[in-house]
A and B are shown apart, each in its own frame.
Chain A
Amino acid sequence: MAETTYIDAIRRGLLEEMERDAAVFLMGQDIARFGGAFRATKGLYERFGRLRVVNTPLFESGAIGAALGAALAGKRPVVEMQFADFVSCGFNQIVNNLAKTYYRWEAEVPVVVRLPYGGGVGAGPFHSQSPEAWFAHTPGLAVVAPSTPRDAIGLMKSAIRDPNPVIYLEHRVLYRREKEDLGEGDLTTPLGRARIAREGSDVTVLTWGWTVHEALDAAAEAAKSGVSVEVVDLRTLVPLDEETVFAAAKKTGKIVVVHEATATAGYGAELVARLADLCFEHLDGPILRVAYPDRPSPYNKNLEKELLPGKAKILDAVRRLARY
């Protein structure tokens, strides 16, 4: 079987859901013939036509607002932001209108907002951010962040079927780097379920997105010096799979929370708080956090690389904690 890349898995998820349900349609800037800024929707316009792969004018607020309206009227829109950073231009539509529609009226609004996010490509301060915490902070939104092609398709399909608005974070570095054989079938990944990416017994790393791979590399390295690391890929941040996360945390009692977003008030802080509250008696050391420093992303690629919470920084935290 041919291997499928992360971005092709996203496309296959969109395609299969569009075939399954005529209510599903795509909106975004230049997503039709052009296939979107990263070519995620390439070929879908040719297959489904202009009523289901819809180019919008260049705006974010207008697109998300119109998606909400279409959802109220029975559609299941998937909206592409060119870059996750640009979603800030549609903030009101998400945090007020989209997130609070069901709360106000018990009206389901199954809108998926796709956010190509993350750094590592020298794209500078407006094109590199990891904005999951902006949305995890807002009740009424589900937030997912796949790290593998299997979960990229699985979470896409589940997000589209879910009755709630879902913020779908897709990491640009993984688009063409991550590949796997997906096989056939209806590949869903349930929302709210974490995945044990690697089993271990000494230290537990909790993470999602690009840093899952960095953590796995760090775990392989740590194993050489006899430190066994369990890596949990959260996959869904909201709702959090507390059962899996807490079990993995209690198993080792030593926890490192890793994320690419900046540290202060990042989603990691929420994890640390819950663990301190609900797993305190199982902890054998401080809960460490490896994240991006509280700084905007620099354009200079080498400097950016130094700041990203990659393998070396994770390994350092794991070793420090293992000594407790």
Chain B
Amino acid sequence: MTNQHDALLDLYRQMVLIRRFEEAAAKAYSQGKIGGFLHLYIGQEASAVGALSTLTRDDYVVGTYRDHGLALARGMSARSCMAEIYGKVTGCSQGLGGSMHFFDAERRMMGGYGIVGGHVPLAAGCAFAAKYRGSGEVALCFLGEGAVSIGDFHEAMSLAALWKLPLVTIVENNEYSMGTPLSRTMSVADSSTKALAYNMARDRFEAKDVLVVRERIGAAVERARRESLPTLIEVQTYRYRGHSMSDPGKYRTADEVEARKKDDCIANAERSLRALGAGDDVFARVDQEIEAAVDDAVRFADESAEPGEELIEAYTYA
């Protein structure tokens, strides 16, 4: 098999992991094993997987509350992610944060943030630190299209352009901010045009093909790394599930969702792999591996202990 085949297979495997992981989380949620809020990334996998495949280990990643895909694509273990969703002490935030608050300092996954838009200046701060040190790292920041209206977003863009920060800001436009279509919350259809006001490079494309995502984000990451210049990118995508598990999704038709599923990033990657020579055995093996990994994560989360009061004491102040 070719390098191209192996590289794509790796991305495919990551996307399948995210999807199966979240399907298991949704099941656990409906079984009442987990509470709080659960925002699924299903349908958008190519965005995180393609984008993060362009990074080195030392680059920074900052994301939203829809952070499971980002965390898994950054190499966080399915066990620690699932345990966090279960609110267990073995989770990446010891069960104190939950689904919206994933974090892993070692992998420079600088967190999922549960209040919209507030994390964008923080990503600019990571980029500033890298530039200040001259260490060459890049910061990648994800947000939803709804967050483009928040002042913090504009403040961060202003800073990134003014200080020429190595920041790649990715607006994942999944068309609905909760139940409201983009046309009702923003006066332009293309959020990347906001870059014009800051004299910042921009790009916009659909995230149906993970290799396209990798190539286009890769160009922006290179610009950040080599020239220390920021880029604003709109990735056009679609979530198949509700905004959260409690969203009945009445603001769009079932037909619309079904139509979008026909152009699915995982199915597209499978087709490309087959064209490169992958056979049924390859996919069967991936399915088997992923199923085992997700089952293991669920079992691990289920059997792990709950955090006790002493933990709260220990983690309130440094």
A residues neighboring B (CB under 8 Å): 29-30, 32-34, 37, 55-59, 61-62, 85-86, 88-89, 121-127, 293-296, 298-303, 306-307
Give the contacting residue for B37; candidates A123, A293, A294, A307; CB below 8 A: A123
Asked whether any CB of chain A lies closer than 8 Å to the CB of B160, the reply is: no
Q: A306 contacts which chain B residues (CB < 8 A)?
A: 309
Whether the pair A307, B36 counts as a contact (CB closer than 8 A) is no
Contact with A along B87-100 (1 / 0, CB 8 A): 11000010111111
Whether the pair A33, B251 counts as a contact (CB closer than 8 A) is yes
* Interface pick from B179-187, B221-229, B255-263: B179-187
Q: A123 contacts which chain B residues (CB < 8 A)?
A: 36-37, 98
Whether the pair A127, B37 counts as a contact (CB closer than 8 A) is yes
Asked whether any CB of chain A lies closer than 8 Å to the CB of B146, the reply is: yes
Q: A295 contacts which chain B residues (CB < 8 A)?
A: 312-313, 316
Whether the pair B180, A34 counts as a contact (CB closer than 8 A) is yes
Q: How far is the CA of A294 from the CA of B149 in the complex (A)?
A: 33
Interface centre among B98, B152, B178, B313 (most CB of A within 10 A): B98
With A59-B149, A89-B115, A89-B118 known as contacts, the answer to whether A299 contacts B95 (CB < 8 A) is yes
With A300-B307, A303-B307 known as contacts, the answer to whether A37 contacts B178 (CB < 8 A) is yes
Q: A34 contacts which chain B residues (CB < 8 A)?
A: 178-180, 250-251
Whether the pair B179, A307 counts as a contact (CB closer than 8 A) is no
Asked whether any CB of chain A lies closer than 8 Å to the CB of B308, the reply is: yes
Asked whether any CB of chain A lies closer than 8 Å to the CB of B206, the reply is: no
Chain B binding site: helix, strand, loop or mixed by DSSP? loop
Give the contacting residue for A303; candidates B184, B306, B316; CB below 8 A: B306
Give the contacting residue for A59; candidates B37, B87, B88, B150; CB below 8 A: B150
Give the contacting residue for A122; candidates B87, B146, B179, B313; CB below 8 A: B87
The 9 nearest A-B residue pairs measured at CB: A299-B98, A57-B149, A34-B179, A122-B35, A300-B87, A126-B114, A58-B146, A57-B185, A122-B36
Q: B98 contacts which chain A residues (CB < 8 A)?
A: 122-124, 299-300
With A122-B87, A294-B316, A295-B316 known as contacts, the answer to whether A303 contacts B308 (CB < 8 A) is yes
Q: How far is the CA of A302 from the CA of B179 in the complex (A)?
A: 31
Asked whether any CB of chain A lies closer than 8 Å to the CB of B236, the reply is: no
Closest CB in chain B relative to A111 CB, distance in Å: 19
User: In this complex, what residue of B is CB-closest to A34?
Assistant: B179
Q: How far is the CA of A301 from the CA of B96 in the complex (A)?
A: 9
Q: How far is the CA of A62 from the CA of B154 in the complex (A)?
A: 13
Q: B149 contacts which chain A residues (CB < 8 A)?
A: 57-59, 62
Give the contacting residue for A57; candidates B95, B113, B186, B307; CB below 8 A: B186
Interface centre among A62, A296, A299 (most CB of B within 10 A): A299
Give the contacting residue for A296; candidates B306, B307, B316; CB below 8 A: B316
Closest CB in chain A relative to B253 CB, distance in Å: 14
Q: How far is the CA of A202 from the CA of B233 in the complex (A)?
A: 66
Q: B88 contacts which chain A residues (CB < 8 A)?
A: 300
Whether the pair A30, B100 counts as a contact (CB closer than 8 A) is no
Asked whether any CB of chain A lies closer than 8 Å to the CB of B210, the reply is: no
User: In this complex, what residue of A is CB-closest to B146?
Assistant: A58
B residues neighboring A (CB under 8 Å): 35-37, 84, 87-88, 93, 95-101, 113-118, 146-147, 149-152, 177-180, 184-186, 250-251, 306-309, 311-313, 316
A59-B117, A300-B307 are known; give 14 further A-B pairs, CB within 8 A: A29-B177, A34-B250, A58-B117, A58-B147, A58-B185, A86-B115, A123-B37, A124-B36, A294-B316, A299-B87, A299-B96, A300-B95, A300-B96, A307-B312
Q: How far is the CA of A237 from the CA of B114 in the complex (A)?
A: 29
Closest CB in chain A relative to B29 CB, distance in Å: 11
Whether the pair A85, B179 counts as a contact (CB closer than 8 A) is no
Whether the pair B312, A55 counts as a contact (CB closer than 8 A) is no
Whether the pair A124, B101 counts as a contact (CB closer than 8 A) is yes
Closest CB in chain B relative to A93 CB, distance in Å: 11
Whether the pair A124, B114 counts as a contact (CB closer than 8 A) is yes
Q: How far is the CA of A307 from the CA of B118 in the complex (A)?
A: 28
Q: A299 contacts which chain B residues (CB < 8 A)?
A: 36, 84, 87, 93, 95-99, 101
Closest CB in chain A relative to B146 CB, distance in Å: 4
Q: How far is the CA of A173 from the CA of B44 in the complex (A)?
A: 33
With A299-B97, A302-B306 known as contacts, the answer to whether A127 contacts B150 (CB < 8 A) is no
With A125-B97, A126-B115, A300-B307 known as contacts, the answer to whether A293 contacts B312 (CB < 8 A) is yes
With A33-B179, A299-B36, A300-B95 known as contacts, the answer to whether A124 contacts B100 (CB < 8 A) is yes
With A58-B116, A122-B35 known as contacts, the answer to whether A307 contacts B100 (CB < 8 A) is no
Q: B306 contacts which chain A residues (CB < 8 A)?
A: 300, 302-303
Q: How far is the CA of A261 from the CA of B150 in the complex (A)?
A: 27
Whether the pair B178, A29 counts as a contact (CB closer than 8 A) is yes
Whether the pair B150, A58 counts as a contact (CB closer than 8 A) is yes
Q: B151 contacts which chain A residues (CB < 8 A)?
A: 59, 61-62, 89
14 chain-A/chain-B pairs, Cβ below 8 angstroms: A33-B179, A55-B184, A56-B185, A57-B186, A58-B116, A86-B115, A89-B152, A121-B35, A122-B87, A122-B98, A124-B101, A125-B101, A303-B306, A307-B312
Q: How far is the CA of A86 from the CA of B147 in the complex (A)?
A: 13
Whether the pair B177, A58 counts as a contact (CB closer than 8 A) is yes
Interface centre among A122, A298, A301 (most CB of B within 10 A): A298
User: In this complex, what residue of B is CB-closest to A37?
Assistant: B178
Closest CB in chain A relative to B76 CB, distance in Å: 17
Closest CB in chain A relative to B198 CB, distance in Å: 18
Whether the pair B180, A30 counts as a contact (CB closer than 8 A) is yes
Q: How far is the CA of A89 from the CA of B312 in the complex (A)?
A: 26
